[in-house]
Structure formats: structure tokens, C-alpha cells
A and B are shown apart, each in its own frame.
Chain A
Amino acid sequence: MSEGYSIARLDELERHGKVTPVRAHFGIEAFGVTAWTAPAGENLINDHDERSSGQEELYVVLSGQAIFTVDGQEVDALAGTLVFVNEPETKRKAIAGEAGATVLALGAKAGEAHVPLGWEWAPGVSRHFQSGEPERAYELLAAADSEHPDAPSVLYNLACAEALTGRSEAAVEHLRRAVELYPPFAEIARDDPDFDSIREHAGYAGA
């Protein structure tokens, strides 16, 4: 096979929880592309907007059924449905319908060259958390933070890795910044055992 192209079935790609990082697998540079898979009734696309990235997003339901809520309106989307959200400030989310679902999410910012988003680093390090290698997770996330400063998901996961590896001061600071940039992380942190070691810290922001 030529180095000029590569081929894979989506179900052959490494999946991290709900996330299949298609862009990262192929090394695509011109636009973002991620597949999201969830069983019936579970969150498929988290409630979010794209104000921080400024991206347009196109969701393509590849299989099953996804129930989107976009700008407060519900869209029942069977396989073969395309939902395009052009305004970054529009809130959007989706849950998987009865049969579960896989949705392809495409994104980029109009008028600017595409830059991969910081959160894309987070799924790749989850296996190091799961296998009890927080030091390795820390190394990867610290590198991601250098490359994508102020990416809320990177900061949150970096704070987790720091809390688990005894870097309490840094963990508190990075969690504070993650919550500042994305307030829902405060509630997520409250139930996250990764932060147990810093919960009593004076500067802890997850309360």
C-alpha cells in the first residue's frame, strides 16, 4: 500500500470508551473527524457548544438512532440523517436511541486553517489511567498541554494525572483553570475519585 493513502474499517480502529479518534488514526490535518458510539439511552454527544473552537460541526448518523437536542429542539435522527450546526454558540447534544448509535462528527472553523483540538489528546491516555500508569498519562497530558494550552479536557485530565501522582499543587491549579474554562467540570470533578487526594486542599475547585 502506498504511503499516500490508508484504509480501515471504522470498527477496526482503536476505540476509547465512546470515542473512535478517526482524525488521529489517519493523521488527518485539514478537518476534525471523530466517531461516537453509545448503547441505548446513554449520552452519545455531550451537551456542549463550540464557542471555544469556533467550529462548524456536521454529524452523520452511521448506524442506529440518535436523539439530538439542538438549540432546544429535538431531532430524532435515524441512520442516514445529517445534522449540521453552523453556529458555534448553539448548544447541542445527543443520546443513543433504542438500538444504540454511532455518529460521525466532522468539524472545522470556517475561514481558518484547521488545528486539531486539544480534547482529542484525552481519549488516547485513558488506557494509562485504566492500567494504573498515571505517570505515563501525566507525561502525555503534560505534552498535550504544552501543545494545546487552555484546552479544558486536557487540563482536566492533566489535573487527574497530577492528583494521582502526588503533584497536588499543579493538580489544583489545572483543575481550577479547567473549571474556569468549562464550568461543568466542577460537578464532574465532585464525583471523580481521581481527586480524592486533593479534595481537602485549600485551592480545590471541584467543590
Chain B
Amino acid sequence: MSFRVTTLDEAPRVEGADGADWLRLRKQLDVQAFGVNVYGADAGNRVIEEHDELGTAAGRHEELYLVLRGRARFELDGDVHDAPAETAVFVRDPAVRRGAHAEEDGTLVLVVGGTPGHPYEVSVWEQAADAYPHWRNGDYAKAVEILRDVLDRHPETGLILYNLACAETLNGEHDAALEHLARATALEERWRKAAREDPDFDAVRDDPRFELAVAGQADAAG
């Protein structure tokens, strides 16, 4: 097939970060040269997750956001910017903290990304996202299988290690979970606070190895 057509109303929507609707256009259309997705939310809800492009699962992308419908309120490094439809927000610096809330019902924001000077590769976080529908349906074994596959290809990725540890805990694989949590917290400090507050780890929280894992100690699995 030399071309594919879809519309914003017909494209399948899945649950994205912070409950936003996620139109997985890159995957649906099989775009290989750049990242492209659309996120949607109603007034008052988050439409773009607050994030930067520095994490081990991020691509250090330049990102172009374009408000396609409705109105968004962007927060960029703490500054607030009103963004009605057809407003473009270009974030060159991967360190900029960026996110947005919908100001009107039916707000849709197009996001395009790529890394200057490098061929596009599908972001690690996007690969991992295939696990989440199974996770939400309670099929933790399938989520673990997918996340382990992503981890094999990207072994030093904090987000994958952390989410795998969550899924393994929920799947009853506590030794593996603690090992992966320790590797995540050793790579990126932000997972320490997250793990202490994350109910996914309730089943291992009283295990004496849990605090070692949160501290990033490699012998947490014992």
C-alpha cells in the first residue's frame, strides 16, 4: 500500500498518560521517519503529560506541538501559555519541562518529534506502551512478556525497568521485580520516590529487600 488515510474522528483512541486520549498515529500509519501522535482531552484535564526529553526512555527529541482543535494551556519550564487552535509550540531543548491541559472539550494536540542529526527510531516509551492495554486488563503475564522484550533491546532504560518491576510484582514474580526495581533506581533517582508511593509494589513493600531496591542496591534480589 503506497498511502494510508485516516481521520481524527476515526483513528482508534487508547488511554495515554494521565488519562488523555491517545491517537497512536505513528503506529497506525506505520510512520518510520518521525514520531507523530495526537492527544485529546476535555476541559480541565491533562492533554500532554508533564515531561522532558532527558530520561533514559526519551529520545532527546525536538518536539513540535500543534493544537488541532479546542484550546490548550501549555506549561513550559513553569511559564503558562494560552494556545488556541492552530497554535504551534516548538520545544527545541530536551531539558524543557513541558505539558498541557485542555481548556475546551474536545481539545486535540498533534505532537511531532525527532532527534536532530540522527535517524528516527521508535521511542522506547512507545514500544513499552504496547504492554499497557494488557496491564489494564489484568493480564500481567503478557505485560511482563512485552516489557522484557523491550528491555532486551534497551537494557539501560529506567522507565522500562521500573514498569517491568511493577508488572512482575503484580504477576507474583517478586525476586525479578526487586532486581529490576534496584536497576531502575540505580539508573534514575526519580524512581525512588515513585516506588515508595506506588501501590503496584504493595505486595513487596514489607519485604526487607524492598528498601535496598529503592536505594538502588544490586543485591536487593538476595
Contacts and interface: CB of A to CB of B under 8 A. Distances in A.
B2 interface: yes
Contacts of B91: 4-5
A6 B98 CA distance: 12
Contacts of B68: 60, 62, 80
Contacts of B98: 5
A10 B3 contact: no
B55 interface: no
A202 interface: no
Q: Which of B1, B64, B74, B77 has the most CB of A within 10 A?
A: B64
Contacts of A87: 2-3
B50 interface: no
A62 B86 contact: yes
A92 B4 CA distance: 12
Interface stretch (B24-32, B172-180, B184-192): B24-32
Contacts of A78: 7
A75 B5 CA distance: 8
A10 B2 contact: no
Nearest to A114: B114
B45 interface: no
Nearest to B67: A9
Contacts of A106: 34, 36, 112
Contact of A80 (B7, B33, B118): B7
Contact of A30 (B4, B84, B110, B115): B115
B81 A7 contact: yes
Contacts of A70: 2-3
B14 interface: no
A186 interface: no
Interface string B61-104: 11010101100001011010101101111111101101000000
Interface stretch (A20-28, A163-171, A174-182): A20-28
Interface string B109-135: 010111111111000000000000000
Contacts of A104: 66
Interface in A10-51: 10-11, 22, 26-31, 33
A71 B2 contact: yes
B8 interface: yes
B197 interface: no
Contact of B33 (A6, A29, A108): A108
A81 B112 contact: no
B61 A4 contact: no
Contacts of B76: 2, 4-5
B206 interface: no
A84 B86 contact: no
A113 B2 contact: no
A122 interface: no
Interface in B23-55: 25, 29-34, 36
Interface string A78-105: 1011111111011010000000000010
Contact of A111 (B3, B32, B64, B116): B32
Given A2-B96, A60-B110, A82 B8 contact: yes
B123 to A, nearest CB: 13
Interface of A: 1-11, 22, 26-31, 33, 55-56, 58, 60, 62-63, 70-71, 75, 77-78, 80-87, 89-90, 92, 104, 106-114
Given A3-B93, A86-B4, 10 more contacts: A2-B96, A4-B77, A5-B92, A7-B83, A22-B88, A28-B90, A28-B92, A70-B2, A82-B6, A114-B33
